[in-house]
Structure 1
């Protein structure tokens, strides 16, 4: 993609931000599992963790998502870019879905408006990290710069 920079000077910082985002997701998920242990998988009650509504199902999902982001960060070599971008798309879609059905029985992950906002922000952060973390050869970087000048 011509708009995705290659070998951005701040890519180590973006990679660290991606790792911290994955760590937050894992910590939130673990705290959510501890808090909701014994409840139904998709319980719809007033359970909150770190100020966000959650249930056992969403807590387990965030552990899996956070572990995937952390694994991608550890692997690097543009695998993290793909994982971060696809995870971002998934989080953004999930937050929009839950926002649409916030006050209904379809709110299977027990989202609150705070959960929607945090999920949306995490998705946007991962999308940014995925767009600026791409690594390539010198030829790739020169090709990106030439394509950028043509735009």
Structure 2
């Protein structure tokens, strides 16, 4: 894609931010698993971790997504770019779905408004990291610069 920067000077910083986001998801998920031990997997109760509503199902999902982000960050080579972008879109769908069903029986992940805000923020951070973390050859970077200057 001509509009995605290649070899952005701040890509190591963006990669670190992506890793920290993955680490946050893992820590939140592990704390959620500990807090919701003994409950049903999709319980709708008052379980809160770091100020966010959660249950065992969402905690397990957070750990899984966090590990995927961390593995992608460790691998690099534009694998992290694809992982971060796709997981960002998935988290947006999860967050907006959670917002839509927040006060209904369909709130299967026990979301609160705080949880929705954090999930959508994490998705935007991962999307930003995915957009600016692309690595390429010098020819690809030059093509991006030429395309950018034409627009």
Determine the C-alpha separation between the residues in 1 that align with 2:3 and 2:31. Answer: 38
Is 1:101 the counterpart of 2:101? The answer is yes
User: After TM superposition, what 4+ stretches of structure 1 lie above 2 angstroms from structure 2?
Assistant: none
How far residue 8 of structure 1 moved from its aligned partner, in angstroms, is 0.2
Correspondence for 2:135: 135
Structure 2 SS opposite 1:61: helix
Is 1:3 the counterpart of 2:3? The answer is yes
Correspondence for 1:124: 124
How far residue 150 of structure 1 moved from its aligned partner, in angstroms, is 1.4
How far residue 149 of structure 1 moved from its aligned partner, in angstroms, is 1.3
Correspondence for 2:53: 53
Instruction: Tell me the TM-score normalised to structure 1 length.
Output: 0.99
Determine the C-alpha separation between the residues in 2 that align with 1:75 and 1:48. Answer: 33
| Root mean square deviation, CA, Å | 0.4
Instruction: Tell me the TM-score normalised to structure 2 length.
Output: 0.99
Determine the C-alpha separation between the residues in 2 that align with 1:91 and 1:11. Answer: 22
Residues 59-93 of structure 1 show CA distances to partners (whole Å, capped at 9, x for unaligned) of 00000000000000000000000000000000011
How far residue 104 of structure 1 moved from its aligned partner, in angstroms, is 0.2
Is 1:83 the counterpart of 2:88? The answer is no
For structure 2, list consecutive stretches of 5 or more residues without a partner in the other structure.
Answer: none
Determine the C-alpha separation between the residues in 2 that align with 1:140 and 1:76. Answer: 17
For structure 1, list consecutive stretches of 5 or more residues without a partner in the other structure.
Answer: none
Determine the C-alpha separation between the residues in 2 that align with 1:34 and 1:148. Answer: 49
Determine the C-alpha separation between the residues in 2 that align with 1:139 and 1:93. Answer: 36
Q: How many residues align?
A: 151
How far residue 49 of structure 1 moved from its aligned partner, in angstroms, is 0.2
Correspondence for 1:33: 33
Determine the C-alpha separation between the residues in 1 that align with 2:150 and 2:2. Answer: 10
How far residue 2 of structure 1 moved from its aligned partner, in angstroms, is 1.2
Determine the C-alpha separation between the residues in 2 that align with 1:14 and 1:150. Answer: 26
